[in-house]
Amino acid sequence: MRTFGLSDFWYILYAAQWTVLLSITAFAGGGLVGLIVALARTAPSRAARALALGFIQIFRGTPLLLQLFLVFFGAPVIGFEVDPWTAAAVALALNAGAFLGEIWRGCIDSVPKGQWEAAAALGLKYRYLLRDVILPQALKIAVPPTVGYLVQVIKGTSLAAIIGFTELTRAGQIVNNATFEPMMVFSIVAVLYFLLCWPLSLLAGRMERRLAVSLAQN
């Protein structure tokens, strides 16, 4: 056992970059999955809607921790060796994709039906209707909740410590095991999470207020 020192602080701070990188990777992957899911949820095809709904129910209806275990321990069973980084990124991206897909589906559905009907009356094919009329309007509505959800992705990366990925929480565990100063160590970890999440929460709130004013003026 040793005393908590400056080197321990720098070690925890260094690990925070892996939390940021994992969050960005998971959010980017989740955004791609979420877009596919949202488009499938609003597609004319009943099969596409059913598949998308099933995906959402599975990943929103089971714990993220369980999903991390299934990817990390399940991939080798089917012949894919994955490291903790890859497993965490894949599981977080799939989980984020389910939530973002449902958020964006709601944004697409919130576009007034008159816009859909007017575009259809002009003879636009479905893909052009989405690209040129519906999605640009849905994007404006989707930005605030999407930024807000990024906070949940950052906090969700803490579960990657369970499968051995050394991010912010895991670094705190390692330092605490060496120093036995949990109040000091995990207070620093909590402050770093707060500094990562608080600006995004403020930004999301500000964007929601601006959107509300814009919609009221329209």
| Least confident stretch, 26-35, 84-93, 118-127, 147-156 | 118-127
Residues 12/185, Cβ–Cβ less than 8 Å: yes
Amino acid 213: pLDDT: 63
Going by C-alpha positions, the residue among 56, 52, 64 that lies closest to residue 22 is 64
Does 218 score more than 60 pLDDT?
no
Residue 154 is part of a domain; what is its CATH number?
1.10.3720.10
Three-point CA angle 71, 177, 151, nearest 5°: 50
| Segments forming the whole domain that contains residue 97 | 6-217
If one compares 9 and 116, the residue with the highest pLDDT of the two is 9
Tell whether 39 is covered by a domain: yes
Amino acid 94: pLDDT: 97
Does 161 score more than 70 pLDDT?
yes
Residues 147/203, Cβ–Cβ less than 8 Å: yes
Amino acid 95: pLDDT: 97
How many CB atoms are located within 10 Å of the residue 173 CB?
16
Which segment, 31-35, 120-124, 141-145, is predicted with the most confidence on average? 31-35
Residues 205/145, Cβ–Cβ less than 8 Å: no
Tell whether 1 is covered by a domain: no
Four-CA torsion 196, 201, 206, 209, nearest 10 degrees: 170
- Residues 51-61: what's their mean pLDDT? 95
Which residues, other chains included, contact 210 with Cβ-Cβ below 8 Å and sequence gap of 6+? none
Going by C-alpha positions, the residue among 81, 61, 56 that lies closest to residue 71 is 81
- If one counts the domains in the chain, the total is 1
Tell whether 73 is covered by a domain: yes
Average pLDDT, the chain: 90
Q: What is the pLDDT of residues 177-187, one digit of tens each?
A: 999 999 999 99
Tell whether 108 is covered by a domain: yes
If one compares 17 and 139, the residue with the highest pLDDT of the two is 17
| Least confident stretch, 89-98, 113-122, 147-156, 208-217 | 208-217
Sequence-separated contacts (24+) of 20-23 with Cβ below 8 Å? 20/154, 20/196, 22/85, 22/88, 22/89, 22/92, 22/157, 22/160, 22/165, 22/167, 23/150, 23/153, 23/154, 23/157
Helix axes 168-179, 6-41, angle to 10 degrees: 150
Q: What is the pLDDT of residues 80-136, one digit of tens each?
A: 889 999 999 999 999 999 999 999 999 998 888 877 777 777 777 778 788 888 888
Tell whether 13 is covered by a domain: yes
